[in-house]
Structure 1
Amino acid sequence: MGIAELWKVISPAERQYSLEQLAAHSFKYHKRGLRIAIDVALWCFQAKSSVIGDSSELRSLFFRFCRLYGLGIRPVFVFDGSNRPEYKRNRMINTIPIETEFRQQLIQLIQFFQFSQWHAYGEAEAECAMLQRLGIVDLVLTGDSDVFLFGAQCVMRRWPSKPYEPVACFDQTWITDKTGLDRSDLILIALLRGSDYDTKGTRGIGTLVAAQLAHCQFHRSLMDDIQLTGREVPLDNERVQHMYDDLTYELHHNRTQNLSRKHAGVVLDPKFPDFSIVIDFIHPLTNIGRKASISKATRLADNLNQPQEPQWTELARFCQRAFHWPANYLLKRFSSVLFPAYMINTLRRLAASQASVQRPVRLDDYYRDKARQVRQNIIVQVTTQKYLQETQEHVCRVEWDMSCWTEFLQLLKTKLDYTAYLEQFDNSEPEAHLFDQVKRQWVPLNPIRSLYPHLLSVKKHKKEEPFSTSTVFIVPKRRQPL
């Protein structure tokens, strides 16, 4: 979706990173989880196309949510608003109707995981881009290239299908450095080539020719002025005509030598450019940008900046009903998928809590410091250490105390129905055997070093290597984007 072949044009700027690598980098350098804006409609469409069966789409999203939680990522799921166009490129677009059982279940799942949601004014990708421009999120996850036209700076193109899988990531600064194209150039390409909102474009102009014309920069000063003046100020028709004439002359004569050849037969539409589209790209209407939404936006930012634990009891009951899982089968799945995530997030919280304490210790602290007692009981031993190349961090293998797992199961059991769905799955595996499968786990070394330094006198599994910041998704300093 978006501009035809735009991904190919900007491909020289592509860098490959795994979700795990980005998440680890955020904790190391920003001391918080990675914040991602997710275009819900596209995400659900991708999930639906990869699964078959009853409730399979929602179940697929559940396992994606588990992965986000385990990596400590703080997502905001952005839903299309009521003002989104019904058609793109003359076709009905994929969206999620408001009054459907799937949408209601998805919203419940988001709430039980304590993730954030946001409802766009119109296009979800415009809202995602604005969230990123305002610094509320670090990254946008979408496959729609229009997100760059709306002003997104950092984009992950698709959801990785397996752990540690590198996926295409883009930053507008990388795009400008590698291709010479900034945001205003991409907007001009959309006007010339056609986009989701103007399917015609200009006959005889493909994406490559449009990109070559963009390098001439005849449009930049005009679009910069539109950026400064906003939606309501009328355009200077004389300047618009100058831009039209310059583009036409360049097509016919190739004065700047930016084109690979002359295009004497190409004629721009007399109404080119459609500045209603330009305005919508440069100044998209969004809920996050409205004054009336300031308090909601503040709450969203606060929620994204703080780690949140799922509502375990409600989440377990929801999954049993939605997926028709017997109670023992649910405990088995939650143990294998979510208990490791639960423990690593417990470590992160304890380490962050310890780091935040800067005051002198008082005598009564020794009588009421429950966190210290938790730290003493959480880990039995650290068995080995190694350097994990996939995330470029040091990790160690720990053995959890069984009381942690018992406590985790108690959070789940309160509202489970032990008589429901018994015919659906094999329910015979004893509960006691489950802990043996999850009691050992690789975890980042830093929180262990902070909380349990006395446990680290163990043999290293692999020669340690220095951490390099040259291959992580670091957003460099940049000029003010258009």
Structure 2
Amino acid sequence: MGIPGLYQEIGPGKRLALVKLAIEKYEETGRPLRIAIDTSIWLFQVRAAQGPALQTLYYRLLRLLSVSIQPLFIFDGANKPLTKRNKHTAPGGMYILEIKFRQLLNHFGFPYHTAPGEAEAECALLQREGIADAVLSEDVDTLVFGCGLTLRNWSSESPKGKVPTHVNVYDAQVTKQSKSGLDPEGMILVALLSGGDYDTNGVTGFGVKIACEAARAGFGKSLCGISRTDAAGYAKWRERFNFEVQTNESKHFKSRHKSLKLPKTFPKLDILEYYTNPVISDAHGVAKLREELTWEGEIDIVGLRQFVAEAFGWKYKVGAKKFIRGLAPVLLVHKLRLRGNRRESGYNDPILTDMNEIELVRSICGKRAHFATDALPEIRIIFHPNDIVGLDIEAEEDVTHDCRRDGLAPLLEDDAVKASVANNTTARSASPGKRVRLAYDPMQPERVWIAQIIVKAGVPLKVEDYEESLRNSK
């Protein structure tokens, strides 16, 4: 999607752990990192991938919650271009997957917004306006639309890893000053010459490398500065461009290209307008969104439980345990952060504070700086899963028939849950050196690694006691 070959010219950006980006923002501002997410890309990805699409989206939302991100999901609107990558895009209407995903977002308390036109253009606008700190999208068009900070390729840093941990970070200022030397106007020229979403053909003979050379020479900036009605201005621009590309008089290109010439129909003004004047929210719409946006929505545990039972077949007690296992550790992160933000009047009372803290964290049992988080300081805590989720398991029905007919795999075979929880569910067997998996019990203690600053914010006395025990043991 976007402009084929452009990411190769720009480079990979800076590869960073998403949780570290989020924690740095939290340390700097006292709030989580706010990311606008191009939802159309997510929906496209899960439709094209193997496995249940909605369940994949569910685990992505859990992961966002676990790294203290405040997401804002942006959906395509009715006024997006009618044709994209040679395919007709029907305005209006929603697929079942999109409807279900909106329901899921409501249960998580995550905000979403329908753009007037394309989601990626709206995402870029919201980042420029300061509503979002960054945009998460695989589409290079977010850069073309002027996004200042773009995150892409959210994936594992380990070749064998299944859990997404890192992102490629593209800072527009860094990109412009780097070897690529490309700014948004230059990228628009690259799209017009070598092909993009709205015209995949481009101009015959102009590949992405020649197009980037022209962009670095400033031809994109000058092109985008011409008024739509200035036919003479476009003609003069074409004349200068053709002269330079054929003679290379100013040494903008690596060599002369005598056979290359722009046609008199260049640029196609409707295509140029898609990039320079996309359909996005006006100033009033941005102000209204800023005023009405609720970043810290309530997580509807009961609603989520009903949703996964119906949508994923996670029914009966076995399904409830599966639900708790995936949700508990990430909900714990969320509750610790919120507790740090909402210090009640009794917070300074050590006895009351200790009683409140034990509801979340039973004890602390380790510290580390791991490569998966770019050496972010983490603390390992022991907690009781259902103390965090608060689900009435006894109210759930027992299994009355073979669960496999409902698609319920054994709990410990769910790789996504195992990876997201990353805790110990093993015990010593009779054979020395071997460990045997135990059936998951949400009433039994589990362990999880959480960013140190989040743990300190939520249970400061527990952290103080742990650090004192370390000092005393020396």
Please give the TM-score of this superposition, normalised by the length of structure 2: 0.81
1:130 is aligned to 2:122: no
- Taking the TM superposition and a 5 Å limit, the aligned residue runs for 1:12-51 are 14-51=13-50
Contact 1:149 1:282 in 2 (8 A): no
Q: Any idea what SS the aligned residue of 2:299 has?
A: coil
1:325 is aligned to 2:314: yes
> 1:174 & 1:294 partners in 2: Cα distance?
29
Deviations along 1:144-194, one digit per CA (max 9) or x if unpaired, are 212211111222223325336434321211211212111111111112222
Equivalent residue letter for 1:294: A
Displacement after TM superposition at 1:219 (Å): 4.5
Deviates more, 1:338-347 or 1:26-35: 26-35
1:393 is aligned to 2:376: yes
What is the aligned length? 431
> 2:41 & 2:467 partners in 1: Cα distance?
44
Contact 2:186 2:219 in 1 (8 A): no
1:72 is aligned to 2:60: no
Which of these residues, 409, 430, 435, is aligned with residue 390 of structure 2?
A: 409
Deviates more, 1:194-203 or 1:84-93: 84-93
Deviations along 1:223-280, one digit per CA (max 9) or x if unpaired, are 3x46xxxxxx754444333221110110111011121211111121102223333333
Displacement after TM superposition at 1:121 (Å): 1.4
Equivalent residue letter for 1:313: V
- Taking the TM superposition and a 5 Å limit, the aligned residue runs for 1:305-324 are 307-324=296-313
Q: Give the equivalent residue in structure 1 for 2:202.
A: 201
Contact 2:120 2:139 in 1 (8 A): yes
> 1:427 & 1:270 partners in 2: Cα distance?
65
Equivalent residue letter for 2:468: S
Contact 2:364 2:380 in 1 (8 A): yes
Deviations along 1:15-67, one digit per CA (max 9) or x if unpaired, are 11232232232223232222222222221221233323xxx111111111111
Q: Any idea what SS the aligned residue of 1:20 has?
A: helix
Q: Give the equivalent residue in structure 2 for 1:352.
A: 341
Cα pair distance change 1:325/1:376, threshold 3 Å? closer
- Taking the TM superposition and a 5 Å limit, the aligned residue runs for 1:358-377 are 373-377=355-359
Cα pair distance change 1:192/1:447, threshold 3 Å? closer
Which of these residues, 249, 259, 281, is aligned with residue 255 of structure 1?
A: 249
Q: Give the equivalent residue in structure 2 for 1:84.
A: 80
Contact 2:360 2:387 in 1 (8 A): no
> 2:147 & 2:455 partners in 1: Cα distance?
36
Q: Any idea what SS the aligned residue of 1:268 has?
A: coil
Higher-RCO chain (CA-CA 8 Å, sequence separation at least 6): 1
Q: Give the equivalent residue in structure 1 for 2:364.
A: 382
Contact 1:34 1:72 in 2 (8 A): yes
Please give the TM-score of this superposition, normalised by the length of structure 1: 0.80
- Taking the TM superposition and a 5 Å limit, the aligned residue runs for 1:108-257 are 108-160=103-155, 162-163=162-163, 165-178=165-178, 179-221=180-222, 223=224, 225=225, 235-257=229-251
Structure 1 residues without counterparts, runs of 5 or longer: 227-232, 461-482
> 1:100 & 1:202 partners in 2: Cα distance?
35
Q: Give the equivalent residue in structure 2 for 1:455.
A: 466
Contact 1:326 1:427 in 2 (8 A): no
Cα pair distance change 1:154/1:413, threshold 3 Å? farther
Cα pair distance change 1:271/1:100, threshold 3 Å? closer
Cα pair distance change 1:19/1:235, threshold 3 Å? same
Percent of aligned positions with the same letter in both sequences? 26
Deviations along 1:445-466, one digit per CA (max 9) or x if unpaired, are 2244452223322449xxxxxx
Q: Any idea what SS the aligned residue of 2:112 has?
A: strand
Q: Give the equivalent residue in structure 2 for 1:470.
A: none
